[in-house]
Amino acid sequence: MRRFLAACALLLVTATAAYAVNPDEMLDDPALEARARTISEKLRCLVCQNQSIDASDADLAHDLRVIVRERLTAGDTDEQVLDYVVARYGEFVLLEPRFSARNMLLWGTPLLGLLLGGAAIIVLFRNRAGAAAATGLSREEEERLSKILADGEGSDH
């Protein structure tokens, strides 16, 4: 039974590492194929949206893999291939958006949120400290309160 479970676990692990690249898509040159795979892992399947085109079985992912390989065999650099695909399909096709002025809000929002949250925490603690100090009694008020309490203890109510 243990061997069967181990075999099933091994099968599941290897099944998750499977790629959707068909053998007829692969390039004969191993170096170009490795570059194509690297580029394909950076491109989003526009149908699945959470997978790279390297892992997707969608027809559009197949088309994009073919385009990547055609551009590489034409002599394009990796960056030129990415630029070509982005020009055709938009920057959404990149799994990791580029840092640019257009994407400044996307990249800056987490940092801005942290800064605003930190500032809000500082303001809250300062207001609490100020409110605690403001509720303290002056020396005259403390003497008056002590006198009232002392007079109240002396009476038999």
Amino acid type, 120: A
- Other beta carbons within 10 Å of 86: 15
**Higher per-residue confidence, 126 vs 39:** 39
Q: Is residue 75 left, alpha or beta, with left meaning phi > 0 and alpha meaning psi from -120 to 50?
A: left
What is the predicted pLDDT for the residue at 84?
94
Q: How confident is the model at residue 24 (pLDDT cuts 50, 70, 90)?
A: low
Q: How much is the average pLDDT of 96-119?
A: 83
Contact 98, 58 (CB under 8 A): no
What is the predicted pLDDT for the residue at 16?
42
The distance from CA 51 to its chain's CA centroid, rounded to whole angstroms, is 15
**Higher per-residue confidence, 118 vs 29:** 118
**Higher per-residue confidence, 102 vs 157:** 102
Cα gap 41→54, rounded to integer Å: 6
Cα gap 70→35, rounded to integer Å: 12
- Indicate the pTM of the whole model: 0.55
Candidate from 22-31, 42-51, 84-93, 137-146 with smallest mean pLDDT: 22-31
Contact 66, 22 (CB under 8 A): no
What is the predicted pLDDT for the residue at 155?
59
Q: How confident is the model at residue 121 (pLDDT cuts 50, 70, 90)?
A: very high
Q: How confident is the model at residue 25 (pLDDT cuts 50, 70, 90)?
A: confident
